[in-house]
Amino acid sequence: MGLQYDTTAFDVSSSTEPSSVLVTGGAGYIGSHAVLALLEAGHRVTVVDTLVRGHRRAIDVLAAHGDVHFVEADCGDRGVVLPLLRERAIDTVLHFAAYCYVGESVQEPLKYYANNTGSSLRLLMAVADSDVSRFIFSSTCSTYGEPGEDRLPIGEDCPQRPINPYGRSKLLVEQALSGFAARRRAEGRRFACARLRYFNVAGSDPHCRVGEVHDPETHLVPICLQAAAGLRDSVTVFGTDYGTPDGTCIRDYVHVTDLVDAHLAAMAAIEPGGDHAWNVGTGRGTSVREILDSVRRVTGVDVPVEQGARRPGDPPSLYCDPSRIRDDLGWTARHQELDDIVRTAWDWMQSHPNGYD
């Protein structure tokens, strides 16, 4: 049982010694999948989550697969986090905790700067007074903004010019983390960091132990599947007049377990003094209409669609060049077929129609 890794690419289970890892946002979608993988690789895991958008039941499920020390708190609460880093002898931080809705960030920018940027900076200040030697930051392709067709596929050298508060809130943390890493190097302190710029994450644990549950749900794949399951009347396509082949937005969809593989590979590879930025995606763009077609194939349901206006802050196309992470870490996405990604999300939804409830 457990997440199965393609060891022809790299062996994440044996390439790193057991670590004491703090996972912020470990009760959320990506964080819970990361905790599961860390436990199965033999690491000691501590989770900090406010449960504002995470799930207490996810922690209960994870605890059945290993020793998880859970603290309900904000990762920026120094009074909680600093003693935890010391008492649990944390050497590695995987920082997932963040709000991640582009549209919401446009409507409530201060909420995003306070949570995504402010809490992250306070977390780094606690790390500065601890023995943490590795920090893996959950960043986003939204830091690239609207790069233009001449920059596709997007490489890590693409200028970072975010066009929404979500992307800006993440870029500020990237910049602070790099500055902190440079200071650590100047002091001769053991510290390394990686900034993983995610593209669109989808799918679920193939064994349906943890999965994607948001309230409200704003991610395209589960929204389409909810419509297929009769949990919503239709799917609204926001913008059908983009300069793309079928007029809808194009994104790079990476399976959540592949994304987790990238984190464990980064943990194993980064060395003191290192400050890395890696795109994490498949390198292939998929349109909204293509997602709908995949959902219809997987579920056998003709999902009803409504057309809506463009949403503020949505670039037409975002998909990555994953060659750097492939060359540096030997990582490639195992789930290359869109239907395979959608099928794991559908299996989760079928087995957990009410999420964790």
User: Any idea which residues carry the catalytic annotation?
Assistant: 166
Q: Could you please report the per-residue DSSP string of 181-201?
A: HHHHHHHT---EEEEEEE-EE
DSSP 302: -
- Residue entry with tokens 């989808």: 202
Taking the CB of residue 214, how many other CB atoms lie within 10 A of it?
16
Strands 250-251 and 286-287: antiparallel
Instruction: Please choose, from the candidates 64, 61, 60, 71, the residue with its C-alpha nearest in 3D space to the C-alpha of residue 23.
Output: 71
**Strands, DSSP E only, in the chain?**
20-24, 44-49, 68-72, 92-95, 134-140, 192-198, 200-202, 235-238, 250-251, 253-255, 275-280, 286-287, 305-308, 317-318
How many angstroms from the chain centroid is the CA of residue 333?
A: 14
**Strands, DSSP E only, in 34-112?**
44-49, 68-72, 92-95
- Contact yes or no for 276/136 (Cβ under 8 A): no
* CA atoms within 13 Å, Cβ hemisphere of 19: 25
Show the tokens assigned to 112. 């995003």
Q: Give residue 347's identity as a one-letter amino acid code.
A: D
- Contact yes or no for 328/262 (Cβ under 8 A): no
Phi-psi region of 281 (alpha: psi -120 to 50; beta: other; left: phi over 0): beta
Q: Could you please report the per-residue DSSP string of 222-241?
A: HHHHHHHTTSSS-EEEE-S-
- Contact yes or no for 181/191 (Cβ under 8 A): yes
- Contact yes or no for 177/124 (Cβ under 8 A): yes
